[in-house]
Amino acid sequence: MNTIEFANTGVEVSQMCLGTMMFGDRCDEAESARILDTAVDHGVTFVDTAAAYVGGETEKILGRIIKGKRDKLFIGTKVTKNVDPDWITQSLDESLERMQLEHVDLFMIHWPRQNMAIAPMMEALNKAVEAGKTRYIGCCNFPAWLLAHCNAVAASNGWAQFVNNQIPYNLFERGAEVEVLPQAAATNIAITTYRSLALGLLAGKYKPGEPLPEDSRGQTDERVPLWLDKYSDALKGFNQFAADRDLHPAQLAATWVRHSPGVAAPIVGVSSERQLHASLKAFDVELSAEEYKHLTDLFAATAVQEESGGNFAPLRRTFDLVTA
């Protein structure tokens, strides 16, 4: 497994970040433990979780299954609900209790909020670092301007700054190319990407024109049939390209993200050990410049303003949202 330096921290983490959102959801604790053990056996050290996953159950499972391995791991979790200082402190304390940990390695703001007060939020995060409850702080789903503003406020007060931004990014969700990825490259922000497999659409799980598999997220997530319809031709080309190179589509999708400028570590979400084996190989596959371009052009995705996952429209409508 390749390793990367995580932003400017001097800390080496595996290039693959294991996503745990399905732990306690689509996979039970025993399967979650198998996934984690196999990932660690293959050199994965970077693990992503969140207080919000399965109402805290994911963190509880993670805490139990990392016993004896904690020292090898770089664990990131996220605040739930809101970004008020008291809540930031409480949310982190609750996460630590659920995972039975003294500290996490990375503590992230999960989503920007309307009317969020930046200085109190950054001060609370800095206190968490000073208290030794987290080594670093980061954010998810932040547009570039907001991340820059937060870090400017932190810098002017001598507080810890965000070292990463976790964003949705895959072959057809490419809004981050407008500003988030260039900002990351210019200022050494570690970008971790979720939905790297587009919920399984880029894992060969769904075939255009065929019914959605019964035991799949497509049964409950309305984006799956929408995207399947919208990108049907491109998906056929993508699956064919994977077959021609003798790759599993999940490998090809994660490989493409891994090769993208500005991306530090793709987060790979799996719901079984079998899926993990397929995705792990993505970190050994190399793409030539021609292959990367061919895949990039396949989806003809326009890079539009989707920095907040396309789900936080107010951030795109106005800048009048923050109080320094």
Ligand X SMILES: NC(=O)c1ccc[n+]([C@@H]2O[C@H](COP(=O)([O-])OP(=O)(O)OC[C@H]3O[C@@H](n4cnc5c(N)ncnc54)[C@H](OP(=O)(O)O)[C@@H]3O)[C@@H](O)[C@H]2O)c1
**E strand residue ranges, the chain:** 3-5, 12-14, 17-19, 46-48, 74-79, 104-109, 134-140, 162-168, 190-194, 265-269
Name the phi and psi angles at 17, rounded to 5: -105, 125
Judge whether 23 and 64 are in contact, CB under 8 Å: no
Among 194, 227, 256, 283, binds ligand X (CB under 6 A): 194
Residues 6+ apart with CB under 8 A from 130: none
Considering beta carbons, is residue 82 or 119 the nearer one to ligand X? 82
Q: Please state, in angstroms and rounded to a whole number, the distance separating the CA atoms of residues 179 and 185.
A: 10
72-111 footprint of ligand X as x/- string (CB under 6 A): --------------------------------------x-
148's tokens: 């820059």
Stretch that binds ligand X, among 64-72, 116-124, 154-162, 188-196 (CB under 6 A): 188-196
Q: Please state, in angstroms and rounded to a whole number, the distance separating the CA atoms of residues 247 and 199.
A: 18
Q: Hey, which residues between 224 and 263 contact ligand X (CB under 6 A)?
A: 248, 250
Residues 6+ apart with CB under 8 A from 132: 102, 103
How many Å is the Cα radius of gyration of the chain? 19
Pairing of β 3-5 and β 190-194:
unpaired
Kind plus residue range of the DSSP H or E element containing 194: strand 190-194
Among 101, 146, 203, 282, binds ligand X (CB under 6 A): 203
Stretch that binds ligand X, among 99-107, 179-187, 190-198, 228-236 (CB under 6 A): 190-198
35-54 footprint of ligand X as x/- string (CB under 6 A): -------------x------
Among 98, 135, 174, 217, binds ligand X (CB under 6 A): 217
- Count of alpha carbons within 13 angstroms of residue 71, beta-carbon side: 1
Judge whether 43 and 14 are in contact, CB under 8 Å: yes
Stretch that binds ligand X, among 16-24, 120-128, 173-181, 311-319 (CB under 6 A): 16-24
Among 11, 14, 15, 20, binds ligand X (CB under 6 A): 20
Among 7, 13, 14, 26, binds ligand X (CB under 6 A): 26
Q: Is 198 in the site for ligand X (CB under 6 A)?
A: yes
Closest by Cα among 158, 25, 1, 130 to 74: 1
* DSSP count for the chain of H helices, then E strands: 12, 10
Considering beta carbons, is residue 125 or 199 the nearer one to ligand X? 199
Annotation marks residue 53 as catalytic? yes
Give the residue nearest to ligand X (CB).
19
147-186 footprint of ligand X as x/- string (CB under 6 A): -------------------x--------------------
Considering beta carbons, is residue 121 or 268 the nearer one to ligand X? 268
Q: Please state, in angstroms and rounded to a whole number, the distance separating the CA atoms of residues 177 and 21.
A: 25
> What's the closest the beta carbon of residue 241 comes to ligand X, in angstroms?
16
157's tokens: 């007060």
Q: Contact positions toward ligand X, by CB under 6 A? A: 19-22, 26, 48, 110, 140-141, 166, 194-200, 203, 205, 216-217, 248, 250, 267-271, 275, 278-279
- Catalytically active residues are 53
